[in-house]
Amino acid sequence: MSLRKILRYGSLAVIVLGTTWLLRPPPEERHADAGKAAKGTREDARFVLKIAPGSSYLPGTQPFGLDLTLHGLSDVVADFEQRYPDTKIEIINVPGVREYLVTQLSSGQAPDIINVNVEDVWTDVQKGWYVPLDQFLEAPNPFVVEQGDPSLPGSKEWWDMFTYQGISRGKAAPDNLNYCLTYDMIETGIYYNRTLFKTWGVEPPQTWEEFLAILQRAKQEGKIPLLMNLSNFNDWCTDLFFDQLYYDLLPGIDLIQDPVREQYLQGYLDWDEIAFLFRKGFFHADDVRYREVWRLMHDLKQYTNRDMMGTDLLREFVTGNAAMLWSVSAIGFRLQADRDLGFEWGVFYLPRFTKQTTPYASSVDMCVIGGSGTQLEITCSAIGDTDPNLSMAERMEKSERLQRAVAFLQFLCLPENYARIVNEYPCMLPNIKGVAALPVLKPFEEILARRYTTTKWVYTFDLRFGEIQSRMLGLFLADGVSEDEYLRWEEDNIRAATENLLRRKSVDMDKLEHIWEGKAAIRATYRDLPPEPGRDAR
């Protein structure tokens, strides 16, 4: 009996002690180059900056299939901290969603530097949550200047360091200020099983009809023709198909061409324009082009995997069960890393619609919908050391914290630092001159050379709009609701979102109306425009 007791309490003691030992905090620096770790601790640092870099570069994570633990960003941070011993940079992982942002930013608790899609930033610029970066981007990058070579990009303007000038500068918000540092690039493409394509004797398609023919063939051969999930439909498909059908109309419906962004965004429809067009009868159930967008999507759904909510699309592709996979450039390395992959693969981009696809096809090539990948913004937390009653300009003037945050971003852009982070593994395409894309990402460089999308629907309105559209689209594609019912939901959804938007933001509808009337002659040449609802709708 007593032996039993000894065993019982002895083993319990071992477990408790073992657990305590396991739970001890790990040594500060886990990586091989621990010698570089900054000596400064949080207590004696004047500036503690938090950065949420997003998931691609999060130190300590292991990219899918690679025997590699990321440390590029923490290495660069350590170098920065060594240069500025009064500064401590904390890298944190936050849920990359706007739900999180809204609560954090509204209470001033957000990280100083965050990675969030800039379209989400645009929605909130009027709230003073983000710091405009123009004055810094238009000035030299001090870390380049100190290298002493005036021919280096960045020694005149920080802006010059970026490879993709159009996309980077085009990320200016509707107020013409730039809140976003386009740190790297990402694009989507269709990965295809080249071995299968060879067996079937087909080539990557040039038109939508050829594409459908391949999908049809794959289906006959018992393969899943195309792997994609609901968010691909809701985000990418919507924008691409919308662009294919409305591009021709842009001269008559793109109302605001602002001087700064136009040369890069080329007729981008902002939320105020979308809201105005909705009031003019566009995107209603009887807008034939709008209906066509969803019909074509429903047709495409016949060739995709059944489970649209599944996140693990890659699996069907690597096991050879599917012919094609529509995914982002950041997934290519996973294919490369798969040791059991028994086939060759390639990448092509979606081919354009023809008049045969739909009578409303604009017959232009499919546009770019990706572009900026990691988009770094400085939040109002960075100017938290100043009096919140001052204007943004004054606070930016006074804030020392902000200087450090900007310096850190400038430091991150220095090619030798940049390469350590972005090219640690082939996930994102570099956007800094002098840093080349890793081989597996090459096909996407060509795709990125295309024209930018007409609008980004999921970022146009509030989160409620996006949530409802995604849900109902999923239901529609799974034949859970009819096309008519879906369009009714969507119309109600845009209406609610439009009303909400007009209530919150000052949109000069009279000015838009004026421009609209000025373009009546252009629109008269278009056919099948939606009927304008009765005047009382205004």
Partner 1 sequence: MNWRLRSTFTCYTIVLPSLVLLFTFVYLPVVWAFSKSLYEFEVGSPARFVGLSNYTEYLFSDPTCWPSLLNMLLLTLFAVVVRLTFPLVVARLIYALPSERGRHFYRILFLIPIVVPGVAVQLIWMGLIYGDRGLLNELLRLVGLGGWAAGWLSEPHTALAAVAMVGFPFIGGFEVLVYYAGFASIPTSVNEAALLEGCVGVRKFLLIDIPMVLSQVKLILILTIIGGVQSFQNVFILTRGQPGFVTNVPGLWMYLNAFSFQRMGYACAIGVLLFLVILVLTVINLKYFKSAEQLQGKAS
Partner 2 sequence: MSPAKRLLVHVVLLAFAMLTLLPFAFMLNNVFRTNSEFYHSFFSLPRSFRELAALGTDALRGRSGEVEIKDAEGQVLTVTRGEAVAHWWDQATRGIRRSWVVIRPYMLNSFIVSLTTAFGVALIGSVTAYILARYRFVGSKLVFVFIISTMMFPGVLTLVPSFLLVKKMGLLNTYWAMILPYIAGGQVFAIFVFKSFFEGLDEDLFESARIDGAGHVGIYWHLVLPLSKPAFSVVVIMNLLGTWNNFLWPFITNTEGKCHVLASGLYNLARSPHASNFSTVYAAYAVSSLPLLVLFVYATKPFIQGMTSGALKA
Distance in Å from the first CA to the final CA of the chain:
87
Nearer to partner 2, 95 or 259 (CB): 95
Tokens representing 150 are 């005036």
Nearer to partner 1, 105 or 407 (CB): 105
Q: Tell me, rounded to whole angstroms, the distance of Cα 56 from its chain centroid.
A: 12
Counting residues that bind partner 2 (by CB under 8 A) gives: 33
- Verify binding: residue 388, partner 1, rule CB under 8 A: no
Q: What is the DSSP string of 319-370?
A: TT-EEEEEEEGGGHHHHHH-TT--S-EEEE-PPBP-TTT-TT-------B--
Asked whether the beta carbons of 347 and 332 are under 8 A apart, the reply is yes
Q: Considering the complex, what minimum distance in angstroms separates the CB of residue 105 from partner 2?
A: 10
Tokens representing 469 are 């559209």
Q: Which of partner 2, partner 1, none does residue 60 bind to, with CB < 5 to 8 Å depending on kind?
A: partner 2
Query: Applying CB under 8 A, which part among 94-102, 126-134, 432-440, 521-529 lies near partner 2?
Result: 94-102
- Verify binding: residue 103, partner 2, rule CB under 8 A: yes
Q: How far apart are CA 37 and CA 33, in angstroms?
A: 8
Query: Applying CB under 8 A, which part among 29-37, 57-65, 370-378, 470-478 lies near partner 1?
Result: 470-478
Q: Considering the complex, what minimum distance in angstroms separates the CB of residue 105 from partner 1?
A: 9
- Verify binding: residue 8, partner 2, rule CB under 8 A: yes
Asked whether the beta carbons of 330 and 428 are under 8 A apart, the reply is yes
CB contact set of 471 (below 8 Å; sequence gap of 6+): none
Nearer to partner 1, 195 or 470 (CB): 470
Nearer to partner 2, 13 or 449 (CB): 13
**Could you say which of 7, 33, 93, 216 contacts partner 2 (CB under 8 A)?**
93
**Which residues from 399-458 bind partner 2, rule CB under 8 A?**
none
**Which residues from 207-246 bind partner 1, rule CB under 8 A?**
230
3-class state of residue 90 by DSSP: strand
3-class state of residue 476 by DSSP: helix
**Could you say which of 2, 3, 5, 95 contacts partner 2 (CB under 8 A)?**
95
Q: Which of partner 2, partner 1, none does residue 95 bind to, with CB < 5 to 8 Å depending on kind?
A: partner 2
Q: What is the DSSP string of 46-84?
A: SEEEEEE--STT-TT---TT-S----HHHHHHHHHHHH-
- Verify binding: residue 309, partner 2, rule CB under 8 A: no
**Which residues from 315-374 bind partner 2, rule CB under 8 A?**
315, 318-319, 334, 338-340
Nearer to partner 2, 67 or 536 (CB): 67
* DSSP collapsed to 3 states, 394-428: HHHHHCHHHHHHHHHHHHHHCHHHHHHHHCCCCCC
β 224-227/322-328 pair status? parallel
Q: How far apart are CA 68 and CA 425, in angstroms?
A: 9
Closest alpha carbon to 80 in 405, 408, 376, 414: 408
Q: Considering the complex, what minimum distance in angstroms separates the CB of residue 398 from partner 2?
A: 25
C-beta pairs of 251-258 under 8 Å, 24+ apart in sequence: 251/519, 251/522, 252/519, 252/522, 252/523, 252/525, 252/526, 253/277, 253/282, 253/519, 253/523, 255/512, 255/515, 255/516, 255/519, 256/512, 256/515, 258/174, 258/176
Q: Considering the complex, what minimum distance in angstroms separates the CB of residue 116 from partner 2?
A: 14
Q: Considering the complex, what minimum distance in angstroms separates the CB of residue 51 from partner 2?
A: 13
Q: Which of partner 1, partner 2, none does residue 264 bind to, with CB < 5 to 8 Å depending on kind?
A: none
Cα-based angle 530, 532, 535 (whole degrees, multiple of 5): 170
Q: Considering the complex, what minimum distance in angstroms separates the CB of residue 317 from partner 2?
A: 10
Closest alpha carbon to 247 in 453, 432, 388: 453
Q: Which of partner 1, partner 2, none does residue 265 bind to, with CB < 5 to 8 Å depending on kind?
A: none
Q: How far apart are CA 357 and CA 123, in angstroms?
A: 34
**Which residues from 245-284 bind partner 1, rule CB under 8 A?**
none
At 323, the amino acid letter reads A
**Could you say which of 59, 63, 72, 166 contacts partner 2 (CB under 8 A)?**
63
Maximal C-alpha separation, the chain: 100
**Could you say which of 23, 32, 309, 521 contacts partner 2 (CB under 8 A)?**
23
- Verify binding: residue 507, partner 1, rule CB under 8 A: no
3-class state of residue 151 by DSSP: coil
Query: Applying CB under 8 A, which part among 15-23, 254-262, 342-350, 474-482 lies near partner 1?
Result: 474-482
CB contact set of 351 (below 8 Å; sequence gap of 6+): 205, 206, 207, 208, 210, 211, 366
Query: Applying CB under 8 A, which part among 92-100, 253-261, 266-274, 276-284 lies near partner 2?
Result: 92-100
Q: Considering the complex, what minimum distance in angstroms separates the CB of residue 369 from partner 2?
A: 22
Tokens representing 214 are 């391949």
Closest alpha carbon to 144 in 416, 404, 420: 416
Q: Which of partner 1, partner 2, none does residue 204 bind to, with CB < 5 to 8 Å depending on kind?
A: none
**Could you say which of 1, 3, 5, 19 contacts partner 2 (CB under 8 A)?**
19
Query: Applying CB under 8 A, which part among 65-73, 100-108, 348-356, 379-387 lies near partner 1?
Result: 100-108
**Which residues from 295-334 bind partner 1, rule CB under 8 A?**
305-310, 312, 315-316
What are the residues binding partner 1 (CB under 8 A)?
99, 102-103, 106-107, 230, 305-310, 312, 315-316, 462-464, 467, 471-472, 474-476, 478-481, 489, 492
What are the residues binding partner 2 (CB under 8 A)?
8, 12, 15, 19, 22-23, 26, 55-56, 58, 60-65, 67, 92-95, 100, 103-104, 107, 109, 315, 318-319, 334, 338-340
